[in-house]
Amino acid sequence: SQPRPFNFSAGPATLPEEVLQQAADEMLDWQGSGMGVMEMSHRGREFISIYEQAVGDLRELLQVPANFRILFMQGGGLGENAIVPLNLSRGGKVDAVITGSWSTKSTNEAKRYADVHVAASNLADRHRSLPPASSWQLRDGASYVHVCSNETIDGVEFHELPDLKALGSAAPLVIDFSSHVLSRPVDWSRVGLAFGGAQKNIGPAGLTIVVVREDLLGHALPSCPSAFDYKIVADADSMFNTPPTYSIYIAGLVFQWLKKFEYAGKSGLAAIEQRNIDKAALLYAALDSSQFYENRVAANCRSRMNVPFYLRDERLNDAFLTGAKARGLLQLKGHKSVGGMRASIYNALPLEGVQALCTYLKDFEAQNG
Ligand code: PMP
C-alpha cells in the first residue's frame, strides 16, 4: 500500500501507524471476546484489564511516584482549567505564569473560582521567551502555581520545570502538559499536579490525563461537580462515571508502542525523547539557515513539539500550503490567532516526516526565493 502522508496537525494529531493497524484489526472482535472495545462494559473483566494495563504502562513510562494518582477523566485541557481551581484553590489564592495562549486561558478561567495573581508574563515579548523563574512574583499562601509547560500555539516550552521550593514558595506546581506529555520525562519532585488532553501525544480526544499528588486530593469546593472531584474519581479508580473507554484503549496501545520504541541505542521514553531532540534540531536548523523563513521564539525555550514559523513574504502562504499538501505534508497551517505556519512534530511523527518537510522548505524557497 501507499505510504501515509506526514501529518503535522497540532491535535487531534497523527498516531503511530502500528497502533491504528492494531485497532483496525481488533475493531470487530477484541482478542477473541466477540466484542469490539467500544461495545464493552467499563466494569467488565475485559475492559478492566485494558484499563489496568494502560494506567500501569503510563506510570512506568512517566516514572510516576507511588504517592501520585493517575486519573483518566473527561473535559479536556479547558475543562481542567476549571476543575483544577475547583479542587485545589480552596477559594483562595492562585498564582499563574503567563507564557502564551493556553496559560492565558487557564488564568482567566481560574479567576471565576479564585483570587488569581499573574506572577510573571511574557506578553510584552509577544509570548516568545520565558520569564526567568527568579523574576516571578510569587505570593505567600498561594494554593498552587499554574504554568503551561508547553505552549502549543506559541511554540514555547519549559526545558526545565521551576523549582518552587528554591524560589521560597511552598505551593504545589500545576502544569498543563497537554502538548508535550510523554515526549520527555517529568521531574515529579517539582510538580503537584499535571494535566493534559490526550489528543496530541497520546491518542483520541475525549481522554484527559491527570497525575496528582495524594495530599492534594479531598479539598474540592462544595460546588465542584462530583464527576470532577479528584478524590471521588481517584477513590473509584476513574470509574465514578463511564470513562472514555475507546480513547483509553487507544492510549493504552500508544503506551505499549512507546515502551517498545527504540532509537539511537535507547529504548522507551529515553528513545522517543532523543528522536524528538533530533527532529526539532533538524527543523530549527533548516528554518534558521534560511532568510526566507523565520521562527521567532528565543532559542532557550523553543518547543520540541510545536514549531511555529513564518514565510517572510506572507503572500506566498497559500502556495506554500498547497505545495506541501501535494507532497503529502498535511496540516501545516498556523493557528488562526498567530497566522503563519506551524509544524507539530509529536512523538508519532517519524524523523522521515521532518526530513521531508526540510526538503520541501528548501525546494519551495528555491522556486520562490
Ligand atoms: N492546553 C494546551 C497546552 C493545549 O494545547 C490545548 C489544546 N490545543 C488545550 C489546553 C485545550 O484542550 P482541549 O481542547 O482538550 O480542552
Does residue 156 share a domain with residue 41? Answer: yes
Q: Quote the pLDDT of residue 194.
A: 99
* Domain shared by 241 and 286, yes or no: no
Q: 50 and 150: one domain? A: yes
Is residue 118 located within the same domain as residue 246?
A: yes
Averaged pLDDT for residues 171-178: 98
Q: What is the pLDDT of residues 23-61, one digit of tens each?
A: 999 999 999 999 999 999 999 999 999 999 999 999 999
Q: Could you tell me if 270 and 302 lie in one domain? A: yes
* Domain final residue, candidates 229, 258, 287: 258
Specify if 354 maps to a domain. yes
Residue 51: inside a domain: yes
The answer as to whether 56 is a domain residue is yes
Band (228; pLDDT cuts 50, 70, 90): very high
Cα–Cα distance for residue pair 361/290, rounded to 1 Å: 9
Letter for the amino acid at 257?
W
- Same domain? 84 vs 207: yes
Please give the distance, rounded to the nearest whole angstrom, from the Cα atom of residue 18 to the centre of ligand 1. 25
**Cell numbers 467500544: residue:** 38
Residues 252 and 265 in one domain: no
258, 289, 316 - which closes a domain = 258
Question: What is the predicted pLDDT for the residue at 110?
Answer: 98
Residues 287 and 219 in one domain: no
CA gap 214, 227 in Å, rounded: 18
173, pLDDT greater than 90: yes
Q: Is the pLDDT of residue 369 over 90?
A: no
* pLDDT at residue 324 greater than cutoff 80: yes
Query: Please, what is the average pLDDT of the chain?
Result: 97
C-alpha 15 – ligand 1 centre gap (Å): 17
Does the structure's ipTM exceed the value 0.85? yes
Are residues 243 and 356 both part of a single domain? Answer: no
Query: What is the structure's pLDDT at 2?
Result: 81
Indicate which CATH number applies to the domain containing 230.
Answer: 3.40.640.10
301 Cβ neighbours under 8 A, 6+ residues apart: 129, 130, 156, 157, 158, 159
Amino acid at 8: F
- Which ligand 1 atom is the nearest neighbour of the CA of 208? 15
pTM of the predicted structure, to 2 decimals: 0.98
Domain tally for the chain?
2
Report the pLDDT value the prediction gives residue 103, as an integer from 0 to 100.
98
Percentage of the residues of the chain whose pLDDT score is greater than 90? 99
Considering the domain architecture, whether residues 59 and 144 belong to the same structural domain is answered as yes
The enclosing domain of 287 has a CATH number of 3.90.1150.10
For ligand 1, pick from 178, 193, 304, 336 the residue to mutate: most ligand atoms within 8 Å of CB. 178
**Is residue 87 within a helix (H) or strand (E), and if so which, with residue range?**
helix 76-88
Atom of ligand 1 nearest to the CA of 10: 8
For residue 345, the enclosing domain spans: 261-368
Helices 45-62 and 245-260 cross at an angle (nearest 10°) of 40
Judge if 142 and 166 occupy the same domain: yes
Q: What is the rounded distance in angstroms from the CA atom of residue 339 to the CA atom of residue 103?
A: 19
The answer as to whether 14 is a domain residue is no
Last residue of a domain, one of 235, 258, 281: 258
Catalytic sites, residue numbers: 102, 176, 200
| Position 271 pLDDT exceeds 90 | yes
Cβ of 197 closer than 6 Å to ligand 1, yes or no, is: yes
